[in-house]
A = this chain, B = another copy of it.
Amino acid sequence: MKNYRFLLQYEGTRYQGWQRQESSENTIQGKLEMLLSRMCGHKVEVQGSGRTDAGVHALGQVANAHMCTEKTPQEIMEYMNQYLPEDIGVLSVKEVSERFHSRLNARGKTYCYRIINSPVPQVFQRRYAHTVVEKLDVEAMRQGAGFLVGKHDFAAFTSAKKGKKSTVRTVEEISIERQNDMILLTFSGDGFLYHMVRILTGTLLEVGLGRRKPEEIIEILNSGSRAAAGELVPAKGLTLVEVRY
Contacts and interface: CB of A to CB of B under 8 A. Distances in A.
Contacts of A27: none
B78 A121 contact: no
Interface string A65-90: 00000000000001001000011111
B81 A11 contact: no
A11 B124 CA distance: 7
Max count, chain B CB within 10 A of own CB: residue among A78, A91, A121: A121
Contacts of A92: 120
A128 interface: yes
B78 A123 contact: no
Interface in A75-115: 78, 81, 86-92
Contacts of A78: 119
A87 to B, nearest CB: 6
A187 interface: no
Contacts of A128: 124
Contact of A120 (B91, B123, B124): B91
Tier of interface size on chain A? 20 to 34
A126 interface: yes
A28 to B, nearest CB: 11
A77 B120 CA distance: 9
Contact of A121 (B57, B89, B119, B123): B89
Contacts of A11: 123-124
Contact of A81 (B10, B90, B121): B121
Nearest to A84: B121
A32 to B, nearest CB: 14
A64 interface: no
Nearest to A239: B124
A122 interface: yes
A117 interface: no
